[in-house]
Chain A
Amino acid sequence: MSSNPERAGLRIPHSGGSKVVRLSTPLDLSVLSSLKAGDEVLLSGRVLTARDQAHRRFVGLLKKGSGLPVDVKGRIIYYCGPTKTRPGAIIGSCGPTTSGRMDEMTVPLLAAGLKGMIGKGRRSQKVRQAVKKYKAVYFLATGGAGALLSKKVRALRRVCFSDLGPEAVAELTVKDFPLIVGIDTRGNDIFK
């Protein structure tokens, strides 16, 4: 396969030999650092949703030296903007959005203590280095499987920025939410 010139410039990750790890929040940092890029993870506990505009606000607040409306220390951010919730349901469709758009706004959050991110796709080198420096983990969730993933959400609590609609920050309680480790605490990247 490596002799195929089409593959030049596209690094294809190796799969196989990966294990499934159960991870829960509050995060146990020793479990977090035992994760390796490519491992499968079932996450149970609480994550915060935040995407483009919420990141912009977070970074703006951090720059000004003001506190965030929600502490990200030791927590996981899920790049997700769900559909509307039907009456009687917990949440609508809720898969990951493209992580790369958050790259430029990620390092300050890691510096503020963020320990995990969930999204889809590649991250920049800066993010990779910061993930290593701050001993955090970047997780992948299956993109375009939002209906299926909604079954793993047990509760939703609105946190802040409700004027952003689907981009508002919410706290989701998830059970056995399926993830793959994209970048581990040593900076190994599944796409590299």
Chain B
Amino acid sequence: MRKISAKDIQECVRRLAQKANFSLRADVQRAILAAFRKEKSSRGRKILSELLENARAARNDSLALCQDTGLPVVFLEIGPDVDLRGVDVAAAVQKGAAQGYREGFLRTSIVEDPLRRGRPKFGPCVLHTAFVRRKGLKVTILPKGFGCENKTQLRMLPPTAQKDCVEDVIVSVVKDAGPDACPPYIIGVGIGGTSDYACQLAKEALLRPIHKRSRLKHVAEMERSLINRLNRLGLGPMGLGGSTTVLGVNILTYPTHIAGLPICVNISCHVLRSASDVL
């Protein structure tokens, strides 16, 4: 058994919180560079080059890539060999995230009471746990900015909905987001499960490297088709025109009920941040 202490978890989350906020994910950076080379709009190219410069500035100066350092979503994947007896896991995660944010001079973006609001704090984060077959404890943090989180939509489609209809829903959600949520976007889609699980899948989809397509052939095809369709919208960087509207479309599916087809589309801005480690 692999004994993991509260200290280990706290330290890991602290470190990942800063890493995610200071250094742009390598896959996202590569995708922006590739888009910059392909983009025909001169304004679009200029904006994409600013994003690459921003990533450099953030990493060099340990500055947040974006001032919206998000609401951190933490995923714990617990392997069969992990021994957490006696450990207050949730508390360790919260402490680590808050410490990472505080010591990294990130932003207090979270209000304790969603209705009465009040003075913003560094936490708490949202915590998801899963039991998995892989050994060890995998810790992932995804600081989700709210400009784009606000554009996320859930639709409960009828079970008879065809593939085209599913694609149309995804395209319409991106159109609704328009220029507001810092395009070029990365689109995370969850299809299947229940309403809540589709939303979680949509978020988890953002964790997959954006150049990798789904392992399911028909889903990978849908991803490719959507990337093409969305980039033909002409929205472009910052919505000011161009061929770079999305950097990637990642779809995750799960079995669902005979009576339904839940689909959640989670929009991520180009500052898609996440960092992982295995304890």
| Residues of A near any B CB (own CB < 8 A) | 1, 4, 6-7, 9-10, 12-16, 18, 53, 80-86, 92-95, 97-100, 120-122, 140, 142-148, 150-151, 163-167, 180, 190-191
Interface size on B, residues (CB 8 A): 52
Across the interface, which residues of A come within 8 angstroms of B238, CB to CB? Answer: 120, 140, 142-143
Among B65, B119, B120, contact of A93 (Cβ-Cβ < 8 Å): B65
Give the residues from 142 to 189 in chain B that come closer than 8 angstroms, CB to CB, to chain A: 145, 147, 150, 171, 175, 178-182
Across the interface, which residues of B come within 8 angstroms of A16, CB to CB? Answer: 42-43
Across the interface, which residues of B come within 8 angstroms of A148, CB to CB? Answer: 50, 53-54, 57
CB nearest neighbor in B for A92: B105
Across the interface, which residues of B come within 8 angstroms of A80, CB to CB? Answer: 67
Q: How far is the CB of B165 from chain A (nearest CB, A)?
A: 16
CB nearest neighbor in B for A84: B105
A151 and B271: CB pair below 8 A? no
Is residue B127 contacting chain A, with contact meaning CB distance below 8 A? no
Q: How far is the CB of B23 from chain A (nearest CB, A)?
A: 11
B63 and A147: CB pair below 8 A? yes
Across the interface, which residues of A come within 8 angstroms of B35, CB to CB? Answer: none
A93 and B64: CB pair below 8 A? yes
Kindly state the separation between the CA atoms of A8 and B179 in the bound complex, as whole angstroms.
15
Of the A-B pairs whose beta carbons lie under 8 Å apart in the complex, a sample of 13, sorted by A's number, is: A6-B171, A15-B42, A15-B43, A93-B67, A98-B180, A98-B181, A121-B239, A140-B240, A147-B54, A163-B119, A166-B107, A166-B108, A191-B179
Q: Chain B binding site: helix, strand, loop or mixed by DSSP?
A: loop
Known: A83-B107, A93-B63, A120-B238. A142 touches B180 (CB 8 A): no
Q: How far is the CB of A105 from chain B (nearest CB, A)?
A: 15
Across the interface, which residues of B come within 8 angstroms of A15, CB to CB? Answer: 41-44, 240-241
Across the interface, which residues of A come within 8 angstroms of B175, CB to CB? Answer: 9-10
Is residue B236 contacting chain A, with contact meaning CB distance below 8 A? yes
Among B55, B105, B109, B239, contact of A85 (Cβ-Cβ < 8 Å): B105
Known: A81-B107, A92-B67, A145-B50. A97 touches B147 (CB 8 A): yes
Q: How far is the CB of B278 from chain A (nearest CB, A)?
A: 29
Q: Nearest 7 CB-CB pairs, A to B?
A: A121-B180, A143-B182, A147-B58, A93-B64, A84-B105, A146-B67, A148-B54
Is residue B25 contacting chain A, with contact meaning CB distance below 8 A? no
B241 and A13: CB pair below 8 A? yes
Kindly state the separation between the CA atoms of A147 and B107 in the bound complex, as whole angstroms.
13
B179 and A83: CB pair below 8 A? no
Interface string of B87-120 (1 = CB under 8 A from A): 0000000000000000001111100000001011
Across the interface, which residues of B come within 8 angstroms of A145, CB to CB? Answer: 50-51, 53-54, 66
Q: How far is the CB of A161 from chain B (nearest CB, A)?
A: 11
Segment at the A interface, from B78-86, B129-137, B193-201, B227-235:
B227-235
Kindly state the separation between the CA atoms of A85 and B53 in the bound complex, as whole angstroms.
20
A10 and B66: CB pair below 8 A? no
Known: A10-B234, A53-B117, A81-B107. A144 touches B180 (CB 8 A): no
CB nearest neighbor in B for A1: B234
Q: How far is the CB of A182 from chain B (nearest CB, A)?
A: 10
Kindly state the separation between the CA atoms of A36 and B240 in the bound complex, as whole angstroms.
15
Known: A13-B241, A16-B42, A92-B67. A83 touches B105 (CB 8 A): yes
Known: A142-B238, A146-B67. A165 touches B179 (CB 8 A): no
Is residue B27 contacting chain A, with contact meaning CB distance below 8 A? no
A92 and B63: CB pair below 8 A? yes
Q: How far is the CB of B151 from chain A (nearest CB, A)?
A: 9
